[in-house]
Amino acid sequence: MIRILTIGDVVGEHTTTRLSECLWNLRSKLKIDTVIANGENASSGNGLSPKDAKTLLMGGVDVITSGNHIWKKNDLREMLDESDVLLRPANYPSANPGKGYTITDVTGYRLLTVSLLGTVYMEPLSCPFETLEKILDREHGSYDISVVDFHAEATSEKMALAYEFDGRVNAVVGTHTHVQTADEKLLPGGTAFITDLGMCGPDGGILGVRKDEVIRKLRTRLPVRFAPAEGDIYLCGAIITLDGTRTVSIERIREKI
């Protein structure tokens, strides 16, 4: 059996440090073979710094996916070009730094991980459906199993992509909303799906941010500099289990770290 831990948006530098301190032990406890984590909010003030990206990778994350905040830290762009396991969404223009997918080894199997960004209520990027279609065609025969992190706002767009590629990828996991959904399931063709993994971050705020700042922003409509919330840190995500190249289960996880 192969067990893949997928982690929702990591929020804040403190969470990044805490996750890196406990992830290897958690991997051992849960018998995890590889970890995919969305890191686009892992640094202070949104975005991802090279330092925090390295902390996640050294701390037990094997592949970092991302989303619309990946360009917040200009100094990350060189690392995006150089790293094979730090991804920006594949449907950004091809001239942008970095790559949108990677193939890594997991216990002798070739794992294709794809990072995609939704376009409903978000940026007008290339169609995520067409982008994924092209990647699967281009890499046909180069991978054994596949996981897609679909960073999107609309639940319908996430579900539509999962159904469109049901049986062609092993899993489609949604990220972006920071709220874990309770709809994990295997689709008819065998693809594991969950609308949103949730977040890895402090539980005492709103989406990982201090409550008072979010409320002030909504009441005044004025710019507010968000700071990470306080409180216990929870890892939210899902464990995808495969028997060889066949997906057999998806299990939601929410664990205090």
Q: Which amino acid is at 99?
A: K
CB distance 159 to 128 below 8 Å: no
Q: Which amino acid is at 70?
A: I
Active-site residue among 14, 69, 140, 151? 69
- Of 109, 46, 41, the closest CA to residue 246 belongs to 109
Q: Is 151 a catalytic residue?
A: no
Query: DSSP labels for 102-169?
Result: EEEEETTEEEEEEEEE--TTS---S-HHHHHHHHHHHTTTS-SEEEEEEE-S-HHHHHHHHHHTBTTB
- Say how many residues make up the chain: 257
The residues that are catalytic are: 69
